[in-house]
């Protein structure tokens, strides 16, 4: 469950990204944040992952008020959230398997279990057999799927994605969205920021429309 209570976010440069946003997302929901660039989609995701903190208002994630999470608690808090980025944020000097394994290594999962779960995650995104490849040897779509495998490998209850299809052609984009939908089908709460309304219509799900830092639909 995610709840925003009249959340304001003003950045250090004075830009007001969010001007009083309130909404609630239930467990197991598939939600799209849409709007033009600069509407505040990314800010909402950053507030959920505690990359940023609200200037005013409250953000609750899994019944936890993020204001109560100190610096030392952020790392553990983030382990319950899988994050997918537009630019993948993969480590290019490590093979695919190591990239996907990172959250498990951090959580202290034993080696044999890691291998098993990495293979399972890569299987889910259709990249089984690419374990030893380097990210740059893969296509953009494949790199994004590695990013998704990494986000889901530790089985977090919440998956958030910032413009995950931004760099992909329409067919690949739809494929990636359907992948998210499959995770949602097995109970994962999914929140995706995208400006591609056409894509949302094809996949289906709840829509939160933002404009200039406010909810407009």
Q: Cβ 71 to another protein, closest distance in Å?
A: 9
* Closer CB to another protein, 30 or 83, in the complex: 83
Quick one: how far is CA 186 from the chain centroid? 16
Alpha-carbon gap, residue 66 to 146, rounded angstroms = 28
Cβ contacts of 149 within 8 Å, gap of 6 or more: 100, 118, 121, 122, 124, 125, 127
Nearest approach, Cβ of residue 52 and another protein (Å):
8
Q: How far is the CB of 95 from another protein (least distance, A)?
A: 13
- Partners of 83 in beta bridges: 160
Minimum CB distance to another protein smaller for 156 or for 213:
156
Q: By C-beta, is 151 or 177 nearer to another protein? A: 151
Give the shortest CB-53-to-another protein separation in angstroms.
11
Q: Which residues, including other chains, have CB under 8 Å from residue 64's CB and lie 6 or more apart?
A: 77
Applying CB under 8 A, the residues found at the interface with another protein are 49, 51, 72, 74-79, 83, 89-91, 102-103, 105-111, 150, 154
Token duo for residue 141: 């779509």
Beta carbon nearer to another protein, 40 or 203: 40
Contacts of 68 (CB under 8 A, 6+ apart): none
């Amino acid at each position: 469950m995610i709840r925003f209570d009249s959340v304001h976010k003003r950045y250090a440069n004075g830009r007001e990204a969010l001007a009083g946003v309130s909404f609630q997302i239930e467990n197991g929901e598939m939600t799209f944040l849409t709007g033009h660039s600069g509407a505040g989609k990314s800010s909402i995701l950053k507030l959920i992952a505690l990359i940023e903190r609200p200037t005013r208002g409250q953000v609750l994630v899994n019944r936890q008020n993020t204001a109560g999470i100190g610096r030392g608690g952020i790392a553990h808090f983030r382990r319950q959230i899988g994050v997918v980025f537009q630019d993948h944020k993969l480590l290019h000097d490590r093979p695919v398997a190591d990239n996907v394994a990172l959250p498990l290594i951090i959580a202290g999962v034993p080696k044999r279990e890691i291998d098993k779960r990495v293979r399972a995650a890569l299987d889910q995104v259709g990249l089984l057999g690419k374990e030893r490849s380097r990210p740059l040897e893969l296509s953009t779509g494949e790199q994004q799927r590695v990013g998704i495998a990494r986000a889901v490998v530790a089985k977090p209850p919440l998956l958030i994605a910032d413009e995950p299809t931004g760099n992909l052609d329409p067919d690949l984009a739809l494929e990636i969205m359907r992948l998210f939908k499959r995770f949602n089908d097995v109970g994962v709460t999914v929140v995706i920021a995208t400006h591609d309304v056409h894509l949302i219509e094809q996949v289906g799900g709840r829509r939160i429309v933002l404009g200039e830092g406010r909810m407009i639909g």
